[in-house]
Each structure stands twice: as structure tokens, then as C-alpha cells.
Structure 1
Amino acid sequence: MRAVGVTEFGGPDALTVVDVPDEPLGPGQVRLRVRAAAVSPTDTHLREGAYAGRDPVKTPPWVPGMDAAGEVVEVGEGVDRVAAGDAVMAIVVPTGAHGGYREDLVLPAGSVARVPAGADAVAACTLPMNALTARLALDQMALPPGSVVAVTGAAGAFGGYVVQLAKADGHTVVADASEADEQLVRDLGADVVVRRGDDVAGRIRAEFPDGVDGLADGSVQDALVLPAVRDGGKVATVRGYRGDGTGRVEVLPTMVRRYAENGAALDRLREQVESGAATLRVARTFAPEEAPEAHRVLAAGGVRGRLVITF
């Protein structure tokens, strides 16, 4: 089976098409014929070797990718969520050659859900990882309906889903955006839009002088955003940041691996796409051989929507 991976960690050109064996199918698992895999920043970190120390597999190739979509080929004993032939999307926790950028992939049944009605594999693969991360961020903050939630990096994949899911949860949303992205962020559902930048906390406080109840830091500004949040408020972070040590606000590192087998959350996200509460955004597609270019485009910044490798 073809996959896109690295045999030596490095820059985008380290990515190459490699041959990998089929993975064995066990009880409670699903075999997926992958048609599309979304590209995300965490894939670039894996490519560079940032996760090599925690990966139990120490031999190449290493295959990135945390999102995939395609068709179910077969299911293991005890699986009734999906059946052979179903069009599905999935979240992947990469280890060694087990990653989303491969044609044949075996996953726990809880990591797989049917694609939203009317969506193809390319669009569907853009949903699982970032939307589940957004869902986890909101679930960890556990704010009552009617709370004020701030979102940085709101035009990005994670931030955009936080905006949409927070609105669906009944919150007031204040989000940041560049001038070019302001309409996009408003269209996602933000009630208030402030200009992005290092001073975003001050801009948020200008709109909400008492501070917001919660903040999802999609732009990874860490300590810079804490002043936007009221005393006792909550901040969801996405790169392990744990706060400034003062305890004035509760900082909640958001690790999507915790939700990687949360089939109920995946099903809910599918329903929210079908209802229009969440949207699928594709920026561009690439053949497997073009994966290095996909990583270069991502690194250049400014991508709105997801880059997708198609098989």
C-alpha cells in the first residue's frame, strides 16, 4: 500500500511516497480505504522529528496525518457503528507508519464515523481532528450557556470550529481576525471581531471590560492572551502551555488524543455539519507525490481551509 512519509526527519522534501504493508484487523477495529487525508501543522512537527521521543516505533518510515476519509473495507468482531462500504471519516493518532497519509488504515471503531450527508471524502477529512480539538476545548472549559468565549486564530481550522461550536452551545463569541479575514470570521458566527495581534488581549478587554469567561488560544499566544480573561476564567491551549503560575485563571492544555476514540463526539460533529452549525472548508488538494509542496504551502501561512492529500 502507498503512503506518504519520511525515512529521515527533515524539511518538506523529506516526504516521499513509500510502500507500507497492510495493518492487521482486530476486534473492535475498522479497515479504511483512504481517499483523502488533511494536512495540519502537527504533521509538519512529526515530519521534523519533534515527536520521535514519544513514538514507540523507532524504525522508518514515519507517516504523518491525523485526519482521513474514505470507505470501510471490513470491520472487526463487535463493530456495529459502521459497515463495509460505508463512506466514513476518521481521526488518527500516528505511530510509526500508522498515520493518515496512507491508502490502507486500521483504526478503533470509536475513531470512525460516517461522513456528513452530501460531503465527499475530501471535504469530510477536514473535520475530525480540528473539530474534535475544538469540542474538547469547550468541554474542558465547561462554561454555562450565555458565557462570553474569546477565540484567537479564529480564521484557522481549530479556531473556526471553536467559533461555530461555541455559538451552537449558546455562547457569545469574540474572535480575532486580520482585516482580510474579518468577514470570514463574522460569517463563521462571531458576535464581535477584534483585530488580531500581540495586543489582542487589550482589544478584547476594550469590548468586555470585566474580561471574558473563557478563551481558546488557537493562535498559540500563551501568556499574551491571559489578561483578556476575567479572574477565575478559563483558557484552553493547544501546545501544552500551562499558564504563568499565578493561578489567576485556569489554564487547560487541550490534547485531542483524549477524544481520539470518542465516537459520540464525532457523530455529533457530523450532525452539526448536516444542520449547518459547522462547515467544511477545503483550500486545495494535492497528489501523494505533491505532499512536499502541501507542507511548503502550509508553512507559508495564510491558508484558509484545509490542504488535502488525495489517494
Structure 2
Amino acid sequence: MRTALLRRFGGPEVIEFADVPRPEPGPGQVLVRVAAAAVNRIDLSTRDGALARAGLLAPAPAYALGWDVAGTVTATGPGVARFAGGDAVIGLRDVLSAPGTYAEYVVLDEGALAPAPRTVPLPAAATLPLIGLTADRSLALTGLGPGGILLVTGAAGGVGGLVLQLAAARGIRTVALARPRDEALVAGLGATWFVPHGGAAETQAEVETVAAAVRRVVPGGVDAVIDAAVLGVPAHEALRGGGVFVTLVAPFAPPPLRATRVVVQEVFADGARLGELSALVDAGQLTLAVADTYPLDRAADAHRRLAAGGLRGRLVLVPGH
């Protein structure tokens, strides 16, 4: 089978493809014929060496790419009870040393998989695992219930958009921070208020502008923040005293000023919860967006396009088998 790998770090041109034996599932494992694999920013960080420099990748002769997968069960190992050959599934590869999903087949633990939503094509279904589980856990970490007020930065992105939808379903009010052009988009995803923001805030004047803009909407500050855009301190300044700040990237976590609580969301392969999110897609409560699809051997092109920014929807690789 064909699989993507990295023998060195660098630009998109370092992505190689190799023909390797098709993997076999062991006890408690499932072999999935890959129909689609979403392209995520963590793939870019793997490829350019950022994860290795941060000490998150052990030295190895080659590294894999790809976290998300949608496909069809081809074989199961001993002890697998939830899935059988022919089942359409989605799943998450959360162990960096394991084979990636930029491949024609992948083996995952049974607990990392869930039934694919029936109402969307598999390329769209492949976009759910990583951002869906990230959004869901981030929202849970805020501790907010109905009536709470949440600031979502990067609200028009993959994680932010799903946070808006999940929050609306739970009666949580949201302030959506996004580019001016995305006001209608985030309103359609359930945002209560919209605050335009053109990019990362770096100067003190911009910090005050972000905080002031949010506090004009919510005097006293919001109850919690999910910082999907990784703004850090500028977003924290919009938080009330004693509130909760959820960051998705640990090195950019702000200090817990004014008795706030800062927590880092760490995603993991939770097939049971992923199944519940899949059911929400089928119930029409979560929408998934695909910006474009690429053949597997054009993974480098997909990386270039993702790095360029400006996408509304996800990029997905589709193996040709």
C-alpha cells in the first residue's frame, strides 16, 4: 500500500511516498481502508519539525502524517466486538509514533473508532474526529452551563465553528471573534454576538482593543474563553475575574491573572464520544465543511494551501486505491 512519510523536516517538498506491506490488525485493533484523511495544522507542525523541536517527537528514521480518518473496516483483530467488515467508520490516530492516516490503509485501536455519520460523504466525515473532539473537550473544560457567556476566538475556523454549534445546543451564549467577512458565517453557526478582529494582537494598544471590544458587548468580561486562534493574553484580557481560559497550545497559555484558571486542552482518541458527535451530525446539530479534496499523492499541495490560510472548510486527502 502507499503511505506518506517524512525522512527529514522542512517544506511541503519533504513529503515522500513509499510502498509498504498492508498492516494487519492485532488484538483489539481494526484495519480501515482509508477513504479520506483530513489535513490538519498539526501535520504542518510535524512536517516542518516544530513538534520535534518542542520535544514531542522521539528520534526516528521516518515519521508519519495524518490524524483523522474516514473509511471502511476491512479486517478486525481478536477481541473486537463493536465493528465488522464493511462498516463505515471515522477515527483518530493520537499516538505520534503510530502509522499515520495519509495512507491507503491504517490500523487503529477499536476504542479510537466510531460509526461514521450516515448523512454526509466520507470526505466530510473525515474532518470531524480531531476538531470535533477538541471542540467538545474544550467546551467541557470551561464548566459552563446554560446562560454562561463564552468568548470563542478563531470562531470561523474548524474548532471554533464546532464550539459555537455545541455551545448553542447547550444554551451557552457566545461571543464570536472572527474576521469581518465572517459575521454571517458565525451567526449561522449559533453565535450570540459578533466582534470583528483582523488578526493576532501583539501590541499593547491591540490588547486593549480586543478586550474593550468584547467588554462593550459583555460588561465585566466573559465567563470563559476558548482560544482557538491562539491569541493568548489579548483574549485573556476579555475574561472576568475568576473565569476559565482554555488554550489549545500550551506554550502560548497566558498567566492566570485575577484568580482566573488557565487550562490546556489535550485531545485524545475517544471513540465513544466521537460516536456521539457523529450522531449530532446525523441529527443536523453539527455541520461539517470541506474546502477542497486532493489525491493522496498531492499532500504537499494541500499543505501549501493550508499554510496560506484563508480557508473556510477543511482540506481532505482522498487515496485512489
Residue type at the aligned position of 1:128: P
| CA–CA distance in structure 2, aligned partners of residues 80 and 169 of structure 1 | 32
| CA–CA distance in structure 2, aligned partners of residues 45 and 34 of structure 1 | 23
Cα offset, 1:144, TM superposition:
2.1
Equivalent residue pairs, number:
307
Cα offset, 1:102, TM superposition:
1.1
Residue type at the aligned position of 1:48: D
Equivalence for 2:31: 31
Preserved contact between residue 241 and residue 258 of structure 2 (Cα < 8 Å)? no
State TM-score, norm by structure 1. 0.94
From 279, 282, 293, the counterpart of 1:274: 282
- What are the within-5 Å matches in structure 2 for residues 57-72 of structure 1? 58-60=60-62, 62-72=63-73
From 290, 295, 298, the counterpart of 2:306: 298
Preserved contact between residue 177 and residue 197 of structure 2 (Cα < 8 Å)? yes
| CA–CA distance in structure 2, aligned partners of residues 279 and 16 of structure 1 | 33
Cα offset, 1:111, TM superposition:
1.0
CA shift digits 1:148-181 (9 cap, x unpaired) = 1110001100111111111112201110121211
Question: Does the alignment pair 1:219 with 2:229?
Answer: yes
Residue type at the aligned position of 2:229: S
Cα offset, 1:246, TM superposition:
3.1
Cα offset, 1:24, TM superposition:
3.7
From 54, 57, 61, the counterpart of 1:55: 57
From 250, 254, 257, the counterpart of 2:261: 250
- SS of 1:154's equivalent in the other structure is coil
Cα offset, 1:119, TM superposition:
1.8
**Which range moves more in the overlay, 140-149 or 221-230?**
140-149
Equivalence for 2:89: 88
CA shift digits 1:134-156 (9 cap, x unpaired) = 01101111212221111000110
Q: Provide closer, same or farther for how the CA distance between residues 118 and 212 of structure 1 changes in structure 2, counting only shifts above 3 A.
A: same
Residue type at the aligned position of 1:35: A
Equivalence for 1:236: 246
Question: Does the alignment pair 1:206 with 2:216?
Answer: yes
Equivalence for 1:264: 272
Alignment RMSD (CA, Å): 1.5
Equivalence for 1:133: 134
**Which range moves more in the overlay, 45-54 or 115-124?**
45-54
Q: Provide closer, same or farther for how the CA distance between residues 93 and 57 of structure 1 changes in structure 2, counting only shifts above 3 A.
A: farther
Equivalence for 1:115: 116
- SS of 1:297's equivalent in the other structure is helix
Residue type at the aligned position of 1:285: T
Cα offset, 1:131, TM superposition:
0.8
| CA–CA distance in structure 2, aligned partners of residues 93 and 21 of structure 1 | 22
Preserved contact between residue 32 and residue 105 of structure 2 (Cα < 8 Å)? yes
- SS of 1:58's equivalent in the other structure is coil
State TM-score, norm by structure 2. 0.91
Equivalence for 1:13: 13
| CA–CA distance in structure 1, aligned partners of residues 5 and 212 of structure 2 | 42
| CA–CA distance in structure 2, aligned partners of residues 106 and 159 of structure 1 | 29
- SS of 2:316's equivalent in the other structure is strand
Preserved contact between residue 175 and residue 190 of structure 1 (Cα < 8 Å)? yes
Question: Does the alignment pair 1:160 with 2:161?
Answer: yes
Cα offset, 1:264, TM superposition:
1.9
- SS of 1:51's equivalent in the other structure is helix
Cα offset, 1:247, TM superposition:
5.5
Equivalence for 1:307: 315
> Percent identity among equivalent residues?
42
Q: Provide closer, same or farther for how the CA distance between residues 246 and 209 of structure 1 changes in structure 2, counting only shifts above 3 A.
A: same
| CA–CA distance in structure 1, aligned partners of residues 194 and 56 of structure 2 | 39
* Stretches of structure 1 lacking an aligned partner (at least 5 in a row): none
Equivalence for 2:3: 3
- SS of 1:268's equivalent in the other structure is helix
| CA–CA distance in structure 2, aligned partners of residues 271 and 26 of structure 1 | 28
